[in-house]
Chains A and B, each alone.
Chain A
Amino acid sequence: MIISGNVHKYGDNVDTDVIIPARHCVSVIEEELAAHCLEDLDKDFVNKVQPGDIIVAGANFGCGSSRENAPLAIKGAKVGCVVAKYFARIFYRNSINIGLPIMECPEAVDAIDAGDNVEIDIQAGTITNKTKNQTFTAAPFPEKMQEIINAGGMVSYVRNRIGKN
């Protein structure tokens, strides 16, 4: 899968409280959550984000609460991929489980600026900054994560396990 879009760039420690504030967590609907995505960090985000756009952020993205509403809100906002130096553990697992593409690549984060046009090849793990003509390779997924990604997310993975597919 190839994802192509413009970059919205943020710093380190983007926590789940700013990704989706608790006051909006009484919903399990992606679109409802998406309407408040990153509201407490960047009020304009929901107005400027276009389908396929890419969030690029520093270290420890998604730290704090375990709320799965956070990656769901980003997915619902039609963000194509989140690239970070690295992710907080629970957010990382949640994203893979729900099928939100994420990549860890500190070099890419340092080199990419807000507004750059970036193309990502999920299978190959490559991040190409078309604005600056640079290509980076993201860290590969751990074996178990790749197994879940290959199954099409955790729902399919469990359905396979219990013979429901």
Chain B
Amino acid sequence: MGMTLTEKILANRAGLEHVSPGDLIVAKIDIAMATDISSPLTIKVFEEMGGEKVFDTRKVPLVHDHLVPAKDIKSAEFSKIMRNFAREQEIEYYYEVGRSGISHQLLPEQGLIHPGDVVLGADSHSTTYGALGCFASGVGSTDMAAAWILGETWLRVPESIKIRFTGTLPEWVAGKDMMLMVCRDLGLEGGTYRALEFGGPTIENMPMYDRFVFANMTIECGGKNGVVIADEKTREYLRERATKPEEEWMFFEPDEDARYCRELNYDVSDLQPMIAKPHLPGNVIPVAEADPVHVDQVYIGSCTNGRIEDLRIAAEVLKGRKVHSKTRMVVVPATETIYHQMLKEGLAEIFHEAGASIGPPTCGACFGAHMGVMAKDEVGVFTTNRNFVGRNGHTESDVYLVSPAVAAATAVRGVISDPRDVVG
């Protein structure tokens, strides 16, 4: 029987001819990433396990992203744990404040992720890397510590769900809207223990940046990993940045007779901008059907959006317009490279003239830590990935999830808005 894309990647890195769902395998690890918030516990467990050196200093990237720039004394002390460890271990890819960014955008940008790789990250959105045709999954600190010592991990081969998109996306509709629709249909648990395999002509024609959203939000359906079939666009993206030589990139394709536990088919030709209402990422309806509630804060950023392309879209909506007088807007470019590019292209000027605040690259308010946290009874429209109770601040705040275009349109009007009504 044929294999799915995830099965092929895992079989290759486990040194096996064939794997099937349910098989327990031990796979070699290409990247084992941790962040400032997950590494302190990982380092503690690493030491308890008797770890002395990480298995490969080139394969353990450490990224300051969650608590940066340090928000208080406690987070400053916490960040220091990873800083010291990185120096002791002579970690090759250590990303310090000012040269860093949100890990899930930074690692692909810096060329650390390649098709066919097995990637673990001590953060649930580590599924993002699958957009480059690799297996990538989030783990906790103890699994990460074991990975740092052993250079391998045990995995249960997941069943796969095939998700196929056809049709051309209408203007102002993006990958985020497509993925919100998948979150609606799979629910918070429809992908649990499963791989989500994304493909079809719409994705093949889609620029690289928009493909990351699918793999990123796979975890919002409980998925173990999300994978996009790598192609010539992936190759082109990698040529500018890859740290591995091209002959080591492993482009796999699912077999025609691969077995899937479920298939979802979408024609996106008439898709509208979508919105996830509080308090679940799968609580999704078209923006046009959402109540026009007043919005206190719009937040553009996170590992889901906050790419330069996302900022260009938001700037296009905001150019020559103002953020509504009773609304505030926070823009957080995902990495320092993106920040720099935003300045060069004049996007920062557009945001400032519109009355938005631009923050430094950080996970920030996306996980409710700082830089735009919500107060009681406030309503937020975020381009992030989760809107659980209390996720972005007070337990009695309401957060909606949208694309950058919808976020920018909402900022202009001060109520949840369809970009086509603002720009039109």
Residues in chain A within 8 A of chain B (CB atoms): 13, 15, 17-18, 21-23, 25-28, 40-41, 59-60, 63-69, 71-72, 86, 88-90, 93-94, 97-98, 142-144, 154-155, 157-159, 161-162, 164
Contact = CB atoms under 8 A, between A and B. Distances in A.
B268 interface: no
Interface string B63-100: 00001000000110010000000000000000000000
B139 A22 contact: no
Interface stretch (B290-298, B352-360, B387-395): B387-395
A59 B187 CA distance: 12
Given A40-B395, A63-B189, A142 B24 contact: yes
B40 interface: yes
Contacts of A27: 78
Contacts of A98: 142
A66 B368 contact: no
Given A22-B367, A66-B138, A164-B50, A144 B388 contact: no
Interface stretch (B12-20, B102-110, B149-157, B304-312): B149-157
B44 A64 contact: no
Contacts of A41: 389
A59 B190 CA distance: 11
A69 B39 CA distance: 12
A114 B8 CA distance: 46
Interface residues of B, number: 47
A162 B75 CA distance: 33
Contacts of A90: 124, 138-140
A18 B387 CA distance: 12
Given A94-B142, A144-B156, A155 B122 contact: no
B122 A158 contact: no
B37 interface: yes
Contact of A64 (B38, B156, B386, B395): B386
A162 B53 CA distance: 12
B419 interface: no
Interface of B: 24, 37-38, 40-41, 44-45, 48-50, 67, 74-75, 78, 122-124, 126, 138-143, 145-146, 149-150, 154, 156, 188-189, 192-193, 219, 222, 224, 280, 367-369, 386, 388-391, 395
Contact of A17 (B75, B122, B219, B390): B390
Given A142-B156, A159-B49, A60 B192 contact: yes
A63 B45 CA distance: 23
B201 to A, nearest CB: 31
B9 to A, nearest CB: 18
Contacts of B44: 28
A154 B156 CA distance: 16
B34 to A, nearest CB: 10
A27 B67 CA distance: 13
B224 A89 contact: yes
B423 to A, nearest CB: 34
Contact of B389 (A17, A72, A161): A17
A-B pairs with lowest CB-CB distance, top 7: A164-B50, A94-B140, A68-B140, A97-B142, A40-B390, A66-B124, A66-B138
Contacts of B369: 22-23
Contacts of B142: 68, 94, 97-98, 154-155
A88 B29 CA distance: 23
A26 B49 contact: no
